[in-house]
């Protein structure tokens, strides 16, 4: 990778995508950075058997 591209990345504004508790985003915001909160939950509440059933039905890629 070109060193200039890496330097451009570090010169750009930091925006953090948070998929964890809102408390994590708040800690970053308190330091002056922007965050985007994603409200993500595992499919079928993490139930592996239900995920397999949904996959068989074509509900999961």
Q: Give yes or no for residue 59 having a pLDDT over 70.
A: no
Question: Which residue range forms the structural domain that includes residue 26?
Answer: 3-56
Is residue 12 domain-resident?
A: yes
Is residue 61 domain-resident?
A: no
Please check whether residue 15 is in contact with residue 34, taking contact to mean a CB–CB distance below 8 angstroms: yes
How high is the pLDDT of residue 1?
66
Residue found under tokens 């409200």: 39
How many domains are contained in the chain?
1
**Using CA atoms, how far apart are residues 8 and 15, in angstroms rounded to an integer?**
15
How high is the pLDDT of residue 58?
84
Is residue 32 domain-resident?
A: yes
Average pLDDT, the chain: 89
């Amino acid at each position: 990778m070109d060193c200039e591209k890496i330097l451009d990345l570090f010169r750009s504004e930091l925006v953090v995508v948070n998929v964890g508790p809102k408390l994590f985003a708040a800690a970053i915001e308190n330091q002056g950075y922007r965050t985007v909160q994603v409200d993500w939950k595992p499919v079928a509440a993490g139930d592996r058997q239900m995920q397999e059933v949904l996959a068989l039905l074509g509900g999961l890629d």
